[in-house]
Structure 1
Amino acid sequence: MRRPENPFKRALHAGRQQIGLWCSIPSALTAEAVAASGFDWLLIDGEHAPSDVPDMMAQLQAMARGTAHPVVRVPWNDPVIIKRVLDVGADTILVPMVQSAEEARAAVAATRYPPHGIRGFASNVRATAFGRMSDYFTRHEEEMCVLVQVETVEALEKVEEIAAVDGVDGVFIGPGDLSASMGLLNQTRHPDVVAAVEDGMRRILAAGNRPGILANDPVLARRYMAAGAVFTAVGIDVMLLVRAADDLARQFRE
């Protein structure tokens, strides 16, 4: 058995737009339900969703029946957590709150085995098909995709240095925390926040990397795509559920 290729990583490096959906509901059932909806990638949220590693593994297993590539957002830039998420089968991770090139290098090192990193060795884990993938360890760097999240004014000031780190495949701008960092909490559509995001994207592209974003406003999402976002999440599962439920209830109340 050979290790599968990472189509999401290849698409990013080829500059092909990847449309995603944020999965905040920690459920294998809902993950499976949306995995065949036509999105290029799904974000399994381990930072703000009430998910632990077994929950994320169950979602990875459920998504295997679909067509979307799973991306796991780990709760923090912690090599222990990253190791566990990789061992249960994640090939693409998003690391939140990366503030410097040094922190970006630490994130990459957590995904690499020595001598290129610090990832601990385990052979009989889900990632290796329990030891059946003969080429897992020779191709792990080739297929591993590392995305880092910049989400403060301070991080954006250093975005060229972060984007230049070897092994960083994409730089995701977090609009929510960025708005808070700018003194505009929860105002992700504020003109100053939008301008900061677009400026960050231009600088990421100029540094030779690939920007990403989450925008659940279709107009704003298309604007960011036009500005250069290569991986763009255009919705959040729990918000889709809430809006649909509220609309249905409102129709019958009226």
Structure 2
Amino acid sequence: MPFRLDLPETFTRTLEQSDRALVGMWLCSGSPINAEICAGSGLDWLLIDGEHAPLSLQAIQTQLQVIAAYPVTPVVRVPSGDATIIKQYLDLGAQNLLVPMVDTAEDAAAIISATRYPPEGVRGVGSALSRAARWNRVDDYLGTANSTHVSVIAQIESAEAVANAPAICRSGVDAIFIGPSDLAASMGHLGQQAHPQVVAAIHTVIVAAREAGIPVGINAFDPAHARDYIDGGIDFILVGADVSSLARASEALAQTFITGDSQPQRSSY
């Protein structure tokens, strides 16, 4: 008797079912051990970062396999909106993609097309050979992938993207994620995510997402800022990372147990 599998629900569906902000953290180390530790933490979601971390396709797939044993939703950030890269990430089993540097509605439309099989898009057909369809053990994967098994999150992180936020939010993407660090840099405020102009731009994007009726998330490692966004009704948020948590915790050990050690306070990000 053939063995059939059902895929987990997408991040978009999980957001729809939640009555509070979904709280998550970055996975940047590439370590499957770290991924498994964080997967069992009780957090709602984990972001595997393929943009700034030294992760191969194999490393990402291994982390997805490890995380699958736990009740947490993985999202994977691709390094760019390139259609070939998106195809590879989808085929290795990433259902929820966060695409960086989406500046226009045309950018958003292109990444949506890259995640959809024809005639809705240009995704190459190779699911029978890949983890995406669990090697053809998911019934009618080709017929249901476009509508059921993939969610696309556009990352707004530039002044241009803020100006185009209403159009991006109505382009057909499933959700919006705000990147305050790159946004601050693009506005001339490098390293100043809490600058009033940056905060105003962030709220412009949040309003655009609300008006379009799609979820909006943000990165906020400062606990006070994170709490403000959660209390303000943000839909999903990242509040830490595996690498920064280890860095700050190991520094705290040194400061506690090595006489005379006085390390400067560092941002968690």
Give the TM-score, by structure 2 length: 0.90
How far apart, CA to CA, are the structure 1 residues paired with 2:54 and 2:195? 29
Deviation at 1:228, TM superposition (A): 3.3
Determine helix, strand or coil for the equivalent of 1:242.
Answer: helix
Query: Which residue is 1:174 aligned to?
Result: 179
Deviations 1:74-105 (A, max 9, x none): 00001100100000101100000001001101
Residue-pair matches, total: 253
Query: Which residue is 1:234 aligned to?
Result: 239
Query: Which residue is 1:148 aligned to?
Result: 154
Give the TM-score, by structure 1 length: 0.95
Question: Does structure 1 residue 220 correspond to structure 2 residue 225?
Answer: yes
Amino acid aligned to 2:202: V
- Contact 1:202/1:228, CA 8 A, preserved across alignment: no
- Quote the RMSD (CA, aligned, Å): 1.3
Structure 2 portions without partners, runs of 5+: 260-269
Query: Which residue is 1:51 aligned to?
Result: 55
1:203 is matched with which residue: 201, 208, 228? 208
How far apart, CA to CA, are the structure 2 residues paired with 1:157 and 1:40? 31
Question: Does structure 1 residue 89 correspond to structure 2 residue 93?
Answer: yes
How far apart, CA to CA, are the structure 1 residues paired with 2:149 and 2:139? 14
2:165 is matched with which residue: 159, 172, 182? 159
- Contact 1:211/1:228, CA 8 A, preserved across alignment: no
Deviation at 1:121, TM superposition (A): 0.3
Deviation at 1:14, TM superposition (A): 4.3
- Contact 1:74/1:81, CA 8 A, preserved across alignment: yes
How far apart, CA to CA, are the structure 2 residues paired with 1:68 and 1:15? 13
How far apart, CA to CA, are the structure 2 residues paired with 1:147 and 1:228? 18
Amino acid aligned to 1:163: C
How far apart, CA to CA, are the structure 2 residues paired with 1:207 and 1:137? 29
Structure 1 portions without partners, runs of 5+: none
How far apart, CA to CA, are the structure 2 residues paired with 1:15 and 1:105? 27
Aligned sequence identity (%): 44
How far apart, CA to CA, are the structure 2 residues paired with 1:15 and 1:33? 24
Deviations 1:148-197 (A, max 9, x none): 1010011000101000012x111111101000011000111222222221
Question: Does structure 1 residue 119 correspond to structure 2 residue 103?
Answer: no
Determine helix, strand or coil for the equivalent of 1:42.
Answer: strand
Determine helix, strand or coil for the equivalent of 2:227.
Answer: helix
- Contact 1:172/1:211, CA 8 A, preserved across alignment: yes
